Structure 1
Amino acid sequence: MSSLNIIVIGGGAAGFFGAITAAETFPNATVTILEKNRTVLNKVRISGGGRCNVTHACFDNRKLVKYYPRGEKPLRSLLSQFDAASTVDWFERRGVKLKTEADGRMFPATNTSETIVDCLLNTARQLGIQVRTSCGVAALRRNGSSRWSVELLTNETLIADRVLIATGGYPQLMSYSWLPEQTEPLLSPVPSLFTFNTPDSYLLPLAGVSVPDAKVYVLETKQEQRGPVLITHWGFSGPAILRLSAWAARELADAHYRFTLRINWTPDLNDNSLRSKLQDFRQQNGRKQVVSQNPFGLPSRLWQAFAVEAGISDLQRWADLPAKLLNRLAERIINSQFQVSGKTTFKDEFVTCGGISLDGLNQQTLESKAQPGLFFAGEVLDVDGITGGFNFQNAWTTGFIAGLAIGNKASSLQPSSAS
């Protein structure tokens, strides 16, 4: 049999990992990476503030899959082939030591993403993988019964026996139009991992103030999350907000990013226990001013903003606080509501919800059921995680699995009747 010609479309984390695994597993194959941009591994370079959050130190796969709003079920099987521990081992065997931070995120010990970029580039070079940049793909078509024509935007056409698509997520459905006809089920992409814009919020002047533990809700849905919340000059951010945006991605897109956000700034207290604590504090600190004494350990500027918004003056003492104003204060602590009108993408780490459905793929190999010889990996799949290294872990896992299988003889190199 002549040497297999494998083309990987996409020079990001999943594309490189798939190409490297394919070249190591099938040493007689010719492997080429095509990247539409002038440089490769761009997201690896900028992620984690330029440090690259390689993965997360969660080595129990039953827990790890809970960090993925979409893809939890298929990931259970995929991670059994290549998980976070496998990622750590893979890089360490190539001289890249990873370190774990207090929140579980794992970075290269050098604290620079260039360490990861250099590792992938050098490994690819050693394996003879050809990396071509400024090579955008205009169309991908069947060439005969088993081969593929990869038509580039430069009008050049390449021929491949197997193709791995690892282009990352696309923001619009039309961006997938270059894929072959009768391809896999495609779920319309919408953004995930974004912050909330609240232009009318009275808290905007408090930009930079954070609360380590709050509970956030999207009213009229079942979506809620708990964790740190950061007040920004445009609205709200922080881990709890980003997680909420991820799990509610489709509902918020359907609402055109206009909805009511509710925040409980003291999530261990319900309405009754909060009011009871306020009354107790009032009795014990009657002579003190409300704006300067807060019983919940909230940031002083935030507490003062609540007091002002409730109509409490700077000189108001706890002992003289009318029940009406006490109730207003309690409402702002446990039931703050803000009108969200728009979103802001989280830094440069754009993540999409949607893409190629895993239902249309062999979930052991990530090969298309309808188009044998066509494989998918990374964020082009309808799999996305929250921040913390989970999206890179998806890239390493799916890239490895596709690369491991891409050189195997397909059960049938004729397209199946599945659509």
Structure 2
Amino acid sequence: MPLSIVVIGGGAAGFFGAITAAETFPGATVTILEKNRTVLNKVRISGGGRCNVTHACFDNRQLVKHYPRGEKWLRSLLHQFDAVATVRWFENHGVQLKTEADGRMFPTTNTSETIVNCLLDAARRLNIQVQTSCGVSTLQKTPSGWQLQLLTGETLRADRVLVATGGFPQLTAYGWLPDQAEPLLSPVPSLFTFNVPDNPLLPLAGVSVADARVSISGTRQEQRGPVLVTHWGFSGPAVLRLSAWAARDLAAVDYRFTLRINWVPTLNDNELRLALHDFRQQNGRKQVFSQNPLGLPSRLWQALSAEAGILENQRWADLPAKSGNRLIERLTNSQFQVAGKSTFKDEFVTCGGIALGSLDPQTLESKTQPGLFFAGEVLDVDGITGGFNFQNAWTTGYIAGRHIGL
């Protein structure tokens, strides 16, 4: 009887693991089980439908710094399959990637269907069976391997199983899995935007600042980068990175906290005060509202000036010291009361899942359940936006697939 390998989950990690297993162990039968009616759904919608395949960070020591959870653990895995290997793999399978200014890498076709079709074609060539609408209700060890009870009532057997289901929102959703060496880590969301219902800047929805510092009051959590004002609060790369690094802290306070924003992080208080003083000396007869010396979007500058109590027709020469001080405070330390979160488009990620200490760090096989492997977001590994979560999927899927038939 040929070796029977079943992959649970038809996403990026599942397909990559299945393809690698079929290439490495050509005598095996490989089957992908997907509970939804279609496969590779997250690949299709990611990156605005373009699929951010990976990131052009080819120094693994730097690459792992983009993972709030799993940094040290992932570093050793990248020696087996890293971003360089990812680019080479897709090129060898007919997909050329391009690098954008921020380091994100996409197919040159600018459509995720290129990646989807690449994976589907590879699976087809390797005779991998793909079964959709095929969820698993129980997974049990037997003397001869594994028994899978499907939601359809059907029973399957397998010699080896790779779990690549992605993250689950609740601990109870992991109940069908056999116990592991370490307890599951409670899942919480990562990569989300902040809801600020009482935000005075809501009318500015769509305004963005290219470089701002965002931080969480009472913690050391802070990030710097682009910030976007939205209809519900704040988004943008800096906010998303902050939500990822502080995922567990924010879950613990039910996403209610004080957000601080420094709109001019390139200047300290003294430098800012001096810059405004010099501008005032040279433009005293001009109105504060219409003359923005810091390069901020004009609507944001006017809103912050109004919050500081500056009148619309106020001239720089007539600006009271108290109003100037309040303006500096708004520019460097705007504070907003966050009262909830929103999913960032469809690119949500889960923090938590299978504890990394439960797995062999070189093969991703369960320490307590031989023949059971894990890959992708089901693991307690998550990255910030920019292609890092897909890189985790390619790396862990490849490594599990390389070892699952041994």
TM exceeding 0.5 = yes
| Residue 15 of structure 2 is aligned to residue 16 of structure 1 | yes
* Partner residue in 2 for 1:7: 6
Give structure 1 stretches of 5+ with no counterpart: 409-419
Aligned match of 2:43 = 44
C-alpha deviation, 1:281, in angstroms: 1.6
Matches of residues 131-210 of structure 1 in structure 2 within 5 Å? 131-144=130-143, 146-182=144-180, 184-210=182-208
Counterpart in 2 of 1:337? 335
Deviation at 1:215, TM superposition (A): 0.4
SS at match of 2:19: helix
1:362 is paired with a residue whose SS is coil
Q: C-alpha separation between the residues in 1 aligned to 2:302 and 2:232? A: 20
Secondary structure at the counterpart of residue 213 of structure 2: strand
- Report what 1:261 is aligned to: 259
- Give the Cα separation in 2 of the matches to 1:185 and 1:16: 27
Instruction: Name 1:415's counterpart in structure 2.
Output: none
**Contact 2:180 2:358 survives alignment (8 Å):** no
One-letter code aligned to 1:259: F
- Between the aligned partners of 1:266 and 1:349, the Cα distance in structure 2 is 29
2:5 alignment partner, SS class: strand
Which has the larger displacement, 272-281 or 242-251? 272-281
Q: 3-state DSSP class of the match of 2:124? A: helix
Q: 1: CA distance between counterparts of 2:116 and 2:181?
A: 32
Q: Which secondary structure state, in structure 1, belongs to the residue aligned with residue 289 of structure 2? A: helix
* Residue of structure 1 in register with 2:104 after alignment: 105
Counterpart secondary structure, 1:290: coil
Kindly provide the CA deviation profile for residues 122-150 of structure 1, in whole angstroms up to 9, marking residues without a partner as x: 11111111000000100101112x51111
2:381 aligned partner: 383
Alpha-carbon separation, structure 1, partners of 2:112 and 2:301 = 40
Amino acid at match of 1:191: P
The residue identity in structure 1 corresponding to 2:338 is: V
Deviation for aligned residue 1:182:
4.6
- Give me the whole-angstrom Cα distance separating, in 2, the residues matched to 1:223 and 1:101: 28
Task: Specify every segment of 5 or more residues in structure 2 that has no aligned partner in the other structure, as ranges.
Answer: none
* Matched-pair contact (CA < 8 Å) for 1:261–1:340: yes
| CA–CA distance in structure 2, aligned partners of residues 198 and 18 of structure 1 | 41
Alpha-carbon distance between aligned partners in 1 of 2:318 and 2:92, rounded to the nearest angstrom: 68
Percent pairwise identity: 78
Amino acid at match of 2:97: L
For 1:162-210, what per-residue CA distance to the aligned partner results, in whole angstroms no more than 9, with x for missing partners? Answer: 1000000111111101101355431000000000011101100000100
C-alpha distance in structure 2 between counterparts of 1:147 and 1:209, whole Å: 57
Q: Distance in 2 between matches of 1:122 and 1:357?
A: 33
Residue of structure 1 in register with 2:54 after alignment:
55
The alignment's TM-score, normalised by the length of structure 2, stands at 0.99
Contact 2:189 2:348 in 1 (8 A): yes
Residue 295 of structure 2 aligns with which residue?
A: 297
Q: TM-score, normalised by structure 1?
A: 0.96
Instruction: Give the aligned CA root-mean-square deviation in angstroms.
Output: 0.9
Change (3 A) 1:76 1:96: same
Equivalenced residues, count: 406
Which residue is 1:359 aligned to?
357
Aligned to 1:282, which of 280, 283, 288?
Answer: 280
Q: Is the 8 A contact 1:184 1:370 kept in 2?
A: no
**Residue type of the partner of 1:315?**
N
Cα separation, 1, equivalents of 2:272 and 2:253: 32
Pairwise CA distance, 1:311: 1.0
8 A Cα contact 2:376 2:396, kept in partner: yes
Partner Cα distance (2:247, 2:40) in 1: 26
- What is the aligned partner in structure 2 of residue 273 from structure 1? 271
> Which 4+ residue blocks in structure 1 deviate beyond 6 angstroms?
none
Question: Letter of the aligned partner of 2:332 in structure 1?
Answer: I
